[in-house]
Amino acid sequence: MQGLSLRVRGIVQGVGFRPFVFQLAERHGLAGWVRSTSSQVEIEVEGSGEALAGFLRDLRECAPPPTRIDEIESEDRPASGYGSFEIVEGHFDPGWQSIPPDTATCDACLEETLDPSDRRHRYPFTTCAHCGPRFTIVQELPCDRSRTTMACFEMCEDCRSEYEDPRGRRFHAQAIACPACGPRVWLQWPNGEPVEGDPIDACAALLAGGRIAALKGLGGFQLACDATDAEAVERLRTGKQVYGEPFAVMVPDLDWARRLCEVTPAEIEALKSHERPIVLLRRRPGGGVAEQVAPGSNTLGLMLPQTPLDHLLLRGFDGPLVMTGGNLGEAPIADGNREASERLSATADVFLFHNRDIYARYGASVVRVMGDTAVPIRKARGCAPTPLQLPLSAAQDILAVGGRKKSTFCMVKGSQAVVGPHIGNLENLETLEQYEASLKLFARLLELEPGIIAHDMHPDYPSTHLAHEYPAPSALRVVVQHHHAHVVSAMAEHGVRDPVIGVAYDGTGYGTDGAIWGGEILVADWKSFQRAAHLRYAPLLGGEAAIQKPYRMATGYIWSLCAACEVDFEEYLGRIPIGERILLRRQFETEVNTPPTSSCGRLFDAAAALLGLSTEALYEGQPAVELEAAADPAVDVVYPYDILRDGEGWIIDPAATLRALWCELRAGRPIPTIAAAFHNTVADFTRNVCVAVREKYGLKKVVLSGGCFQNALLTRRILDGLSDDGFEVLTHRVVPPNDGGISLGQAVVAYALTEGI
C-alpha cells in the first residue's frame, strides 16, 4: 500500500471534476478523498503502486471537457488506511477563486434530450456537471446552486437523487433541472399573446416562414432569421440598425457547415470545441446563404448549437439561421424578458422566452483558424473569463482597464490573471455601464482590492477616466502605451519576459509623441520599449472621420507621402466631390483635427480605397477585410517601398507601394493580384526591418500583435517570411491580437514598472 497526495490546478472547479476523480478512484480500487479549495483541487489516494500509476495516467488523459488541467503536483506519502473514497467538503479561502465558463451541451445530455423515452426528452435546459450555464448564472462564488439564478427552482425528487449521486453525471451539477422542476420556455407575439403549439417547433415554423424571432439564449437575447431568406435578413439589418457588419450563422451540424463553407480539420475542432465560438470560414459559392448576411466578404461566421434549446430549434428548422445579438446599434444585448420586449418588439415578430434569469450577459465568441492555431478574435460567451497563469507574483492586486472599442479588463492576483469578457465600444453609454457592472461583478467575485490600476495612455478613453474614478483612491495609476501593451500581452501569454522584437500592427493607439500610432516595430520587454521602426506618418484627415471614409486616408497619403508623384493620382483625386476636396485640403494644410498617424490599419484602408473596394467603412477594419477577401494567395509579387534611417531607428515609407498599386490598377492588372501583392509587400518590409533590428539588438524572437493580425493572409505571409529568416515567431492563442487583449499587457507592464523584475 502506498499513498499519493495531489494538487491539481487549471479549470477544475464547477466542471464536474470531483465526481470524475471519485469515479476514477473507484475504478482503480483506490481509497482516499478529494476536495476543492479556492485555487485547486486536492486529492489523497492510496492503493497498490500499479493502481496509483493507472489513476494518475487517467487523471491526466481522460478528464472530460471543459476540465483543463494545467498542473498536477504530486507527492508520495505513507498510506493512512482510508476505508473508501469520498468527496469531502471544500475549503475556500477568501480571495482567488476560479470562475467556470458556460459550456456547450455535452453529447450525453444531447442524447437524453433527443431520446423519446428519457424524462428530459425535448427539455431545453438539460445540463450535467460537465456542460451548461455557469458564469452567466453565478451570483456568488464558490459556485453553488443557491448562489445562482437556479436558486428559485426547487429540485424535484429525481433531480435531487441525481444531484447527490457521486457515481452519476449530475453530482453537484448546479444547474440541474428537468421538465418537472426546472425553467420552461414559451413563445409569444410582441403583444404578449401566446403562440399555440410546442414553442420550439412553432418558432422554427415561423422562422421558416420568414419571421424574425428574439430568443432568450445563454448570455442574453439573440435575434434569429432564416439565413437563406434575403428579405428577412435585410429586415433584420434595418431593425437592428447594423449595415455592413457580417451576421453569424448557426447551422444544425457539421454537414451543414461543410455545405456552406470550406472547413479544415482544425476548423472542425474549433467549431466543435465546448466554447462553441463563431468560426470565421471561407464561404462556398452557391451555398445558399443570402448575400446580405456578410456583404462583400468571402468568409462566413458559423457556429454549431450551444444549448439544448439551440439544438432543438435548429433540428426543427433544419437549415442555417442568422443568429445575432439581441441589441440595436451598439447598445448592449438585452437580457431581461421585459427589456427585450420593449427594445426588440419593432424588430422581432415573435419572442421565445424562458424564466431562468441571466445574471451576466455576454455576446458570442469569435475565432479564426490560421494554420493550425485557433486565434481568438473575441472572447465572450463560453470562453470568458479567461484564466491565465503568469510567470510573476504580484504583491498587490492589479486591475487593468483595457482600451476603448473592443474593451476587456484584466485582474491579477498573485500569479493568476483573469481577462474578462469582450464587452464592446465604451463610447456607447449603455455599453460603458455594462462594462462597469461587469467590472464590479468580477471585483466582487475575486475580492479584488487593486493597489495598481493600469490604463491606456490616451487621456480621453472612457476606460482611462474609469481608471481614475475607480473607488481605490490610494491605488497607484500606471499609464501604459497602447502598442507596448499589445506586445507584452503576446509575451505574457507565452510566458516570455526577455526582450523581443514586437510587431504591433493595428488601427489606432495613442503614441508617446501624441501622434496616432499603429504600424510599430518595438524592441520591448515588460518594463519598457524602444520604437525601433514605424510606418511613415500620414495625415488622418478629419480624425476619426477618416476611419469611416477610407478615401480620405488615401487622399492623405497622396498629398503627404506621394506628393512628388501626385500627378499620377489626379484621376483618383478627381473622384472626390470638389466641395469635400477643398475641405480636406484645408484640413491637410492647417492640420486642424488632422493628427499624423503611422497606423498599419489605415494603410490598408488607403490601399482598399485606391482599389475602389470600400468607399465607406461601415465598421472599423472593413476595408482590410475586403482587401484580404479580394487577394489571390497564389500571387507572390512584391511592390517597392523604402526604408529610411531615422536617428536610432527606421521609418517605413509605403509611398512607392501605393503608387505601384495604383499604376497596376490603371494598367488593368486584376484586383486579386494587386491585393495580394499589397499584403506581400507589408510582409516583405516587416521582414526586412526585423532583420535590421535583429542585427542591431541581437534579438531573434518576434511577437505579432495588433488588430491587423486578424487578417489571416497577412499573418501567414509575415510568419512565413520571418520563419524563413530564422526568427522565432510568437502569435496570439489565448487573448485576441486586437484591443481585446491589451488589458493583459497593461497589467503585466504595470506590474513590471511598480514591483520590478
Name the site residues for Fe ion (rule: CB under 5 A). Answer: 506, 509, 739
- Count of helix runs (H) and strand runs (E) in the chain: 23, 29
User: Which is nearer to Fe ion, 599 or 614 (by Cβ)?
Assistant: 599
CA distance 72 to 561: 57
Tell whether residue 131 is a contact of Zn ion (CB under 5 A): yes
User: Which is nearer to Zn ion, 109 or 658 (by Cβ)?
Assistant: 109
Using a 10 angstrom Cβ sphere, with 0-12 exposed, 13-18 middle and 19 or more buried, the burial of residue 420 is buried
Among 53, 88, 180, 429, binds Zn ion (CB under 5 A): 180
Q: How far is the CB of 150 from Zn ion (least distance, A)?
A: 11
C-alpha cell recorded at residue 49: 503502486
Tell whether residue 699 is a contact of Zn ion (CB under 5 A): no
The verdict on whether omega for the bond into residue 550 sits within 30 degrees of 0, i.e. cis, is: no
Residue 357's binding partner out of Fe ion, Zn ion, none, with CB under 5 to 8 Å set by partner kind? none
- Nearest CA-CA partner of 99 in 380, 445, 437: 445
Q: What is each CA distance from 99 to 58, 143, 588, in whole angstroms?
A: 25, 8, 51
**390-396 LR contacts (CB < 8 Å, sep 24+):** 390/415, 390/416, 390/417, 390/492, 390/495, 390/748, 391/415, 391/495, 391/497, 392/748, 392/751, 392/757, 394/452, 394/751, 394/755, 395/451, 395/755, 396/450, 396/451, 396/452, 396/754, 396/755
User: Which is nearer to Zn ion, 137 or 419 (by Cβ)?
Assistant: 137
Measured from the Cβ of residue 192, the count of other Cβ atoms closer than 10 Å reads 9
Among 12, 41, 128, 718, binds Zn ion (CB under 5 A): 128
Q: Please give the residues from 60 up to 119 whose contact with Zn ion meets the rule CB under 5 A.
A: 106, 109
Tell whether residue 660 is a contact of Zn ion (CB under 5 A): no
Side-chain half-sphere of 580: how many Cα atoms within 13 Å? Answer: 14
Task: Say if residues 712 and 368 touch (Cβ distance below 8 Å).
Answer: yes
Tell whether residue 260 is a contact of Zn ion (CB under 5 A): no
What's the distance, CA 427 to chain centroid? 19
Q: How far is the CB of 678 from Fe ion (least distance, A)?
A: 21
Residue 664's binding partner out of Fe ion, Zn ion, none, with CB under 5 to 8 Å set by partner kind? none
- Nearest CA-CA partner of 581 in 544, 556, 561: 556
Q: Please give the residues from 544 up to 603 whose contact with Zn ion meets the rule CB under 5 A.
A: none
Residue 506's binding partner out of Zn ion, Fe ion, none, with CB under 5 to 8 Å set by partner kind? Fe ion
Q: How far is the CB of 158 from Zn ion (least distance, A)?
A: 5
Q: How far is the CB of 144 from Zn ion (least distance, A)?
A: 18
User: Which is nearer to Zn ion, 103 or 743 (by Cβ)?
Assistant: 103
Residue 549's binding partner out of Zn ion, Fe ion, none, with CB under 5 to 8 Å set by partner kind? none
Q: How far is the CB of 168 from Zn ion (least distance, A)?
A: 11
Helix 308-317 vs helix 199-208: angle between axes, to the nearest 10 degrees?
A: 50
CA distance 387 to 420: 9
User: Which is nearer to Zn ion, 179 or 391 (by Cβ)?
Assistant: 179
Name the 3-class secondary structure at 629. helix
Among 156, 195, 202, 254, binds Zn ion (CB under 5 A): 156
Residue 739's binding partner out of Fe ion, Zn ion, none, with CB under 5 to 8 Å set by partner kind? Fe ion
Q: How far is the CB of 502 from Zn ion (least distance, A)?
A: 42
User: Which is nearer to Zn ion, 180 or 618 (by Cβ)?
Assistant: 180
User: Which is nearer to Fe ion, 382 or 511 (by Cβ)?
Assistant: 511
- Nearest CA-CA partner of 352 in 318, 319, 314: 314
Among 21, 138, 159, 501, binds Zn ion (CB under 5 A): 159
User: Which is nearer to Zn ion, 150 or 610 (by Cβ)?
Assistant: 150
Q: Which residues bind Zn ion (CB under 5 A)?
A: 106, 109, 128, 130-131, 156, 159, 178, 180-181
